[in-house]
Structure 1
Amino acid sequence: MRGISFAFLLVLGPSALANEKTALTLGVFPYVTPVQLSVFHTPLKDYLAKSLGRPVTLVTAPDLNSFVDRTREGQYDIIITAPHLGRLAETRDGYKRVVQTSHTVQGFFLARKDSGIHKIGDLNGKTVMIAQKVSIVYQMAEHTLRENGLVPGESVTIIETRTHNNAMLAPLRGEADASVTGKLLWYVLDDERKDQMRVIGTTEEAPGFLLMAHPRLAAQDIEKIKKLLLDFHREPGSESYFTTNGYEKFQPVDDRAMKGLDPYTQIFLKPAGP
């Protein structure tokens, strides 16, 4: 695939590259490492490949901006993406709605249990690690800080990192006083590390991840994929996929929720500075 490094194709699985001409490309936004993405989403890839009778290649990108660029360039047939990136793909790039996950996206503020940080207001003069400024969790976290009287860059220092998983563990590594991560990653964190941390606050909620289809796919094919995904939670053996990812099932896309995501897409639509 042009513009997608061989390393990323290799890491996310060997999905029938010999039949590349007929393979569907399933792009997953890089909210965790490529290895973790492969573990999380290979069962879905295999289910689609078996049900559709055609190979499916699971790929990602080095960072969110690269994923947004590759989405715009049409390098993915189907995307699993953050809610605001799905809305951007729809309104700017013409992608079609397929399904959304039943969970909600929310940022959790975390600190070490042995620190003196017990609430968001205690972050005055502290450092907070958050993943990528263009992520919806970052945007919601900034809003939450301001609601608590803290000004990013002034009364609190934000350290940007590449993934939500990396941000989450920053206090344990001594790289920041606190961190913000998505609630799904917090829920699936192992007990040993979770016991060393506390939740000191949360952001507002947003809709779950969106699955969108490139408009080059035929309408009947998109409908077939939609039906397969809506039925996936009934498939024997699918429980581990939904448990691992923190989803209950896939569900139809909510129109009102989609429109509510527009403020979070503006960071990609603002004109570039001088």
Structure 2
Amino acid sequence: MKTVVKKILGATLVSGAVAMAAVPVQAETLTFGIVPQQSAKKLARLWTPIFKHLSKKTGTTIRFATAQNIPTFEKRMRAGEYDVAYMNPYHYTVFSQKPGYDAIARQKDKRIKGIVVVRKDSPLKTLAELDQKKLAFPSPAAFAASVLPRAKMEQEGMNIEPKYVSSHDSVYLSVSKGFFVAGGGVMRTFNNTTPEVREQLRVLWSTPTYTPHAIAVHPRVKPETVAKLKQALLEMNTDPSGQSLLKTINFKGLELAENGDWDDVRGLNIRLLDNLLAQ
């Protein structure tokens, strides 16, 4: 009887071990947050194929994420909700402090500059003519699209009324429809907006250039995962499918980045998100 019981128990243990071995190991998953310069639907359409490509190359599942507007994105960044994030230059100088995002890549051979757009048929010719006007911006802390133009206007003694409309595309659409005489954006999103909107607009003024958006990782992401992600991002420059995907977001390529690359932005001493940083 004891022998039978042992055999039965042995068979149970063996079958259990086989069953455990048959259970697949769960693949690591990363949430990649994209700053909502454009609508969530549009961003998902542009970035999801890129994340599928990177998932395949790294063996890590990378999922698209964003927020309904930039202030919400900023709160989620401060809370460390994204494992990886694509953020504007000012955001990087803030969230590299808390919760400690670390830059790994940025757009290759690129400098970011803000623009102020008006309708193509607008009589306005100079930035000074926007004095006393109501202007559209994506959000208070949108670096090139809002912070830089408003700083210049303040420096010139201009008094404008800023209205925040949640995204770059919303700025372009509202200006094209005549809801505002002008609005702030950046060249990449301007070139990437719908042709029927873009063709109704022209660039009135541009800011000086700065280090562009950062791709940065949260400190909790394992070093070996970060290394694989860096390699996969760089390989997009030479892989035909990667090159095609980069073109869809108007990137000529990617290059590795480090924290000090954004010292030019830190030198502006922008304090807009100090309260959020202190939380």
TM range (shorter): 0.7 to 0.9
CA distance in 2, matches of 1:234, 1:264: 37
Q: Which runs of 5+ in 1 are unaligned?
A: 1-18
Task: Please name the residue that 2:153 is paired with.
Answer: 145
Task: Please name the residue that 2:113 is paired with.
Answer: 106
CA distance in 2, matches of 1:43, 1:53: 15
Choose which of 130, 133, 140 in structure 2 pairs with 1:126.
Answer: 133
Structure 1 position 176, deviation (Å): 0.5
List, as ranges, runs of 4+ consecutive aligned residues in structure 1 with deviation greater than 6 Å.
none
Structure 1 position 144, deviation (Å): 2.1
Q: Secondary structure at the match of 1:206?
A: coil
Kindly provide the CA deviation profile for residues 136-157 of structure 1, in whole angstroms up to 9, marking residues without a partner as x: 1211010122344413xxxx22
What are the equivalent positions in structure 2 for 1:149-168 lying under 5 Å apart?
Answer: 149-151=157-159, 156-168=160-172
Does 2:90 align with 1:97?
no
CA distance in 2, matches of 1:174, 1:86: 33
Structure 1 position 96, deviation (Å): 2.0
CA distance in 1, matches of 2:93, 2:228: 21
What TM-score comes out, normalization by structure 2 length? 0.82
Q: Which runs of 5+ in 2 are unaligned?
A: 1-24
When residues 131 and 20 of structure 1 are mapped into structure 2, their CA distance, relative to the original with a 3 A threshold, is: farther
Choose which of 90, 100, 106 in structure 2 pairs with 1:84.
Answer: 90
Task: Please name the residue that 2:273 is paired with.
Answer: 268
Structure 1 position 161, deviation (Å): 1.1
CA distance in 1, matches of 2:139, 2:105: 25
Percent of aligned positions that are identical: 19
Structure 1 position 235, deviation (Å): 1.5
What are the equivalent positions in structure 2 for 1:228-267 lying under 5 Å apart?
Answer: 228-253=232-257, 255-262=259-266, 263=268, 266-267=271-272
Task: Please name the residue that 1:52 is paired with.
Answer: 58
Q: Tell me which moved more, 121-130 or 185-194.
A: 185-194
Structure 1 position 191, deviation (Å): 4.4
CA distance in 2, matches of 1:253, 1:123: 37
Q: Secondary structure at the match of 1:116?
A: coil
Contact between 1:167 and 1:181, CA under 8 Å: does it hold in 2?
yes
When residues 256 and 75 of structure 1 are mapped into structure 2, their CA distance, relative to the original with a 3 A threshold, is: closer
Does 2:181 align with 1:177?
yes
Structure 1 position 25, deviation (Å): 1.0
| RMSD value, Cα | 2.2
